[in-house]
Chain A
Amino acid sequence: MDAVVFIVLALLYVVYLAIAVPASAAAAAAGYAVGMPIAYLAGLGEVLAARPRSLGSPPRRPKQPEGADPALLQYFYGPAIADADHAVRTAYASCRKFWDFGAAAVQSAFDLDGTPLLTAPLGVGGAIGMGVGTAAGTVLAAGCALVHLLVVGVSAAAVRATGTALRAADSALLRLKNIRIVCPDCYRRVFYPGYVCPRPGCGNRHRDVRPGRFGIFRRRCQCGEPMSTLLLLGSARMTAFCPYEDCGGSLEHRPGEAPEIVLPFFGARGAGKTRLMFSMVTQLEAWTRAGRLKAEFGDSATSTELADAGEVLRRGRATTITPVRDPRANVIRLVSRKNIRILHLYDTAGERFYRSDRTQPLRYLGQARTFILLIDPLSVTAFWQRLPAERRAELAALRSEAPSAELAYQQTYQQIEAMGVRLRTARLAVVFSRADLTGVPEGDVADWAIGELGLGNLVRSVRQNFRETCFVNTAAVMGDDGEIHPSVAALMRWMLARNGVKLPKGT
């Protein structure tokens, strides 16, 4: 009888084994095969969406490149990959817990304190299922991770392509508008201005705000303030500066909005460069007051320099001697018939034009296409000696004793050429100053310069080398009626005619 019972029980146990082992194995395999990708997705959800306080910092933070702008990285330029890494680590920790839970369950199935005869088959099946399920789950979780990386990769590619397209569109727009930005301090061409963070009290300087690693449509300063990345998107409203590290000068004139015109005045010391510039500014102010155009100082340095230009002329005072140093451009914003132009007027001490080592640093000459050569006829010996003695006595105090005008011309002309300016595309105005003292000759001014001043070589060289030339006599003085001599307005009209600026007729 006992033997029969034993056989029956043994058979039942075998049946139990045949059911319990595969069933527990299947359950464990299914649990782990599905649980691991779910754990990965849960980890991804925690990292990307829920971001609970318990999440902690990502173990790998993208590093800011050395010397980079103080801005946050664009998400797809580093942080997205750091998030992927963080998600994998978070999922791995969840899976580890899940695995430890299963391992503990399997171990408890063999616990001799319980009923191991019944639970051990479940443990065996569970262990087998865990192994199979973990392998399958790892493959599925890896598939999910691959999909995530693919989404990040495609998004990153789209973001980079958008950035490149926007940069190209912005550059094309600048080219189309014929805008070349020049730094008034270091004279170099600025391909794109740097900008100061607009948040009051921040002052972080961003050297290159264009779409890139710090943002596509806008970037965020480390202080949290958003900044436009393109002139198209309004970056010109922010305070600009020269992005070259050794300069960093202020570009207060909102560069990038309008074409810039570089106008260098050159000539011997005392030729009247500063006075001519003062009279031009005063003429522009007169036109502004009359509502015929709008001219304003482009930056505070220019305001300081030229604020009392009109007053100097009104009182007939002599201008102060221009210091022998690298000049800063006087920037004037000119609005004429809806056309905006930024004028860069360079007034440099005459001493800089006698020797090549002193002219070489004047790199702004390489950015100009219209030049203004000033010559004081009184300084030309041939002309001076032909004046009556009493007239010479009258004018002696006003005559400059600078070296010849031809020296300044030759020196500067060679330097302009050495700086790569194609003279056949350049224009030169040869301005004979002090017309109020010497009188305006009848007939052609160039002929007068050849005949009376003996400047035949200079006139021939100018005509031979420059595409367009103009010889004029000017008087940079203000009449009793408060009006600037009309020769100044005429010269300005010629200077700006090729730059799409139509100045008012008359004074």
Chain B
Amino acid sequence: MAEEIKNIEERTYRWLRRFVFAATLAAIAVLVWWLLP
């Protein structure tokens, strides 16, 4: 049951996790571009 719930969680959160990762990378890139002279 716990394994099954874990699999459902993996599927459910997949795209939100990817979104957060992409948004973090984008924010860091913008920050670096903005901070570099």
Contact = CB atoms under 8 A, between A and B. Distances in A.
Interface of A: 41, 44-45, 47-49, 51, 57, 72, 75-76, 79-80, 83, 143-144, 147-148, 150-152, 155, 220, 222-224
Given A41-B25, A150-B27, A222 B20 contact: no
Nearest to B35: A143
B5 A48 contact: no
B31 interface: yes
Contact of B17 (A49, A72, A223, A224): A49
B8 A83 contact: no
A499 to B, nearest CB: 43
B9 to A, nearest CB: 6
A147 B24 contact: yes
Contacts of A222: 5, 8
Nearest to B23: A151
A75 B8 contact: no
A48 B18 contact: yes
B8 A155 contact: no
B8 A224 contact: yes
Question: SS class of chain B's interface: helix, strand, loop or mixed?
Answer: helix
Nearest to B19: A155
Given A75-B16, A147-B28, A48 B10 contact: no
Q: Closest 4 A-B residue pairs measured CB to CB?
A: A48-B21, A75-B16, A48-B17, A224-B8
Contacts of B8: 72, 220, 222-224
B31 A151 contact: no
Interface string B1-37: 0001110111111001111110111011001000000
Nearest to B9: A72
Contact of A72 (B12, B18, B27): B12
Contacts of B25: 41
B1 to A, nearest CB: 9
Contacts, number: 57
- By CB atoms of chain B within 10 A, which of A150, A151, A220 has the most? A151
A148 B31 contact: no
A148 B24 contact: yes
B13 A79 contact: yes
Given A75-B17, A150-B27, 10 more contacts: A41-B28, A49-B17, A72-B8, A80-B16, A147-B24, A151-B27, A155-B20, A220-B8, A224-B4, A224-B11
Nearest to B11: A224
Interface of B: 4-6, 8-13, 16-21, 23-25, 27-28, 31
B12 to A, nearest CB: 5
Contacts of B9: 72, 79
A51 B10 contact: yes
A452 to B, nearest CB: 72
Contacts of B5: 72, 222
Nearest to A220: B12
Contacts of B17: 47-49, 51, 75, 83
B29 to A, nearest CB: 10
Contact of B20 (A72, A144, A152): A152
Contact of B13 (A41, A45, A75): A75
B12 A45 contact: no
A45 B28 contact: no
Contacts of A76: 16
B20 to A, nearest CB: 6
Contact of B21 (A44, A75, A150, A224): A44
A340 B11 CA distance: 40
Contact of A148 (B6, B11, B20): B20
B27 to A, nearest CB: 5
Nearest to B10: A51
Contacts of A151: 20, 23-24, 27
9 contacts: A44-B21, A48-B20, A51-B10, A75-B13, A83-B17, A147-B27, A155-B19, A220-B8, A220-B12
Contacts of A144: 24, 28
Contacts of A79: 9, 13
B12 A80 contact: no
Contacts of B16: 75-76, 80
Contacts of B27: 147, 150-151
Contacts of B11: 224
A143 B12 CA distance: 29
B14 to A, nearest CB: 8
A47 B14 CA distance: 10
A57 B9 CA distance: 12
B10 A49 contact: no
A222 B6 CA distance: 10
A17 to B, nearest CB: 33
A152 B17 CA distance: 10
